[in-house]
Amino acid sequence: MKIPRRVSLPIFLLSAAVSVLWGSAFALKDYVMTDFRAVYYGTRCLLEHHNPYSVSELERVVANEHGERPSETPEQHQAVSLYVNLPSTFIFVAPFAAVPFGVARLLWLALLTCLFLISSFLMFDIGARYAPGVSLFLVCLVLVNSQMIFKGGNTAGVAVPLCLVGVWAFLQERAQQRIVVVGVACMALSLAIKPHDSGLIWLYFFVAGGVYRRRALQSLAGTVALFFVGLVWVSSIAPHWMKDWNTNLSVISTHGHINDPGPASIVGFHNLGPVIDLQSILSVIRDNPSFYNPVTYLVCGALLSMWAVASFKSRISKERALLALAAVTPLTLLITYHRPWDAKLLLLTCPGCAILWASGRRRRWPALLITFATLVASGDIGMAIFLAHPASALESAPGLTGQIATILLARPIAVLLVIMSLFYVWAYLRNSRVNAYVPAIEGALDNNSRMSQPQEVSTAGSPIKGERP
């Protein structure tokens, strides 16, 4: 379906406005933005020459800056007082922490808005070269369901868009030097802020080889430099920070605490920020880390190994890369701790779905339906509706029936991520070369020539200059 720019752009902006305005309205209320407060006061603590990984020192800084808050929930207190971010995060947040919280909050919301719009548009633009209607539909579905990014101010709202911009820049086959520099810088910052969000995305470009590997290594060098600077800064003020960091990680992930993926977590089943990794499903069957962690690593590791071998051996093309990224994105969210705001990384599946749709094959409908269902389930409005009141149903169903009901009703995002992972890994492995899609894709590109830039579309079946044949 052809979508003229004059129609698609207003739809895009209107969808984004729903999340930006709605989420920002919540964020501007007193003492909301819990996740931003955590990194703000952690960095503020360091700027005042205190140890941000020490709970007592951080609590003292928060109390002096913001006062005591008796109405604060236990999970909000844990999120702020148990600082677990990497030292490299301090480098990025320092300019915001240098100003009062009210000003910093406005600047952070402005940054989130800009990155959110730019990265989403770039994902739409890539997918629009193959199936503009499908690409617009899926991207707008994410745009209209992202209020929590702004309400909480989590660093995922920065790390994920930076990763998407980096991917877009890496995939530009005749990119100018400044685009390459921007892409490398964005990927480096994303890895430095949240490596568990962008790590496997980075891994694809490293495994693929050629110019992709060179850009991946350049990004890694930037990340290492940022981490080294942050490490020196923290170590000069708090020499024993690593011991406190390990303690905070242990406490926050302990049974019943905020990052516990099991049913006993302090945040419970029914909230708008559930843990969405595979452990959250397996913990319903047996709530023991010695069970759900090894099983998760075994299942995800097997899929990741097959994906990595295929990526290493296959011929490189833009379409092939987009399918590979669509396959590894849900795996990223399943293999370790993530929450719905990290799931905005699923924007990377939109171009892959557009490619499968443009192929004209029977898998086009499964691709669209699975992607649609996962984006809806992981969206904020969908969660608010679906996770509102299933508690009584879960408590009344015993045994295996109760476990299945709990998984389906309280962990729908993780279930759909499993389905999406299996489908996209299968679709990626099913075609050892992207040539299977070439005739239909070339026809789609011809039909949508007004929306595409021919110089950026790869020649079907031929590697990018400088790549492995």
pLDDT in tens, 168-214: 999 987 768 889 999 999 999 999 999 999 999 999 999 998 899 99
Judged by DSSP in three states, 30 sits in coil
Domain of residue 106 covers 5-250+275-456
Within-domain flag for 367: yes
Within-domain flag for 467: no
Of 129, 153, 127, 150, nearest to 140 by C-alpha is: 127
Q: What is the mean pLDDT of the segment spanning 446-468? A: 43
First and final CA of the chain: distance in angstroms? 34
Within-domain flag for 427: yes
Taking 80 as the threshold, does the pLDDT of residue 24 lie above it?
Answer: yes
Q: What is the mean pLDDT of the segment spanning 386-390? A: 58
Within-domain flag for 423: yes
Helix %, strand %, coil % for the chain, to 5?
75, 0, 25
pLDDT at 448: 53
Q: Which range is least confidently modeled, 181-185, 335-339, 397-401? A: 397-401
Angstrom distance (rounded) from CA 236 to CA 222: 21
Contacts of 387 (CB under 8 A, 6+ apart): 269, 270, 271, 272, 274, 410
Within-domain flag for 266: no
Taking 60 as the threshold, does the pLDDT of residue 18 lie above it?
Answer: yes
Angstrom distance (rounded) from CA 316 to CA 171: 11
Provide the Cα torsion 337, 343, 344, 345; round to 10°. Answer: 70
Long-range interactions of 27-31: CB distance < 8 A, separation 24+: 27/105, 27/109, 27/150, 27/151, 27/152, 27/153, 28/105, 28/109, 31/66, 31/69, 31/72
Taking 50 as the threshold, does the pLDDT of residue 449 lie above it?
Answer: no
Within-domain flag for 469: no
Cite the DSSP H helix spans in 314-432.
318-335, 349-358, 364-378, 380-386, 391-396, 399-410, 412-430
Overall domain count for the chain: 1
pLDDT at 203: 97
Q: Are 201 and 163 in contact (CB under 8 A)?
A: yes
Angstrom distance (rounded) from CA 144 to CA 381: 8
236-288 pLDDT tens trace: 999 999 999 999 888 888 887 788 888 777 665 556 678 899 999 999 888 88
Sign of CA dihedral 37, 38, 43, 49: positive
Angstrom distance (rounded) from CA 88 to CA 28: 27
pTM flag (> 0.75): yes
Angstrom distance (rounded) from CA 129 to CA 172: 13
Q: Are 193 and 89 in contact (CB under 8 A)?
A: yes
**208: part of which helix (H) or strand (E)?**
helix 195-208
Taking 60 as the threshold, does the pLDDT of residue 455 lie above it?
Answer: no
Within-domain flag for 260: no
Show the tokens assigned to 389.
């009141």
Place of tokens 């520099």: 181
Within-domain flag for 261: no
Whole-angstrom CA distances from 216 to 3, 110, 166 are 34, 28, 10
Show the tokens assigned to 451.
């929306």
Of 295, 271, 272, nearest to 285 by C-alpha is: 295
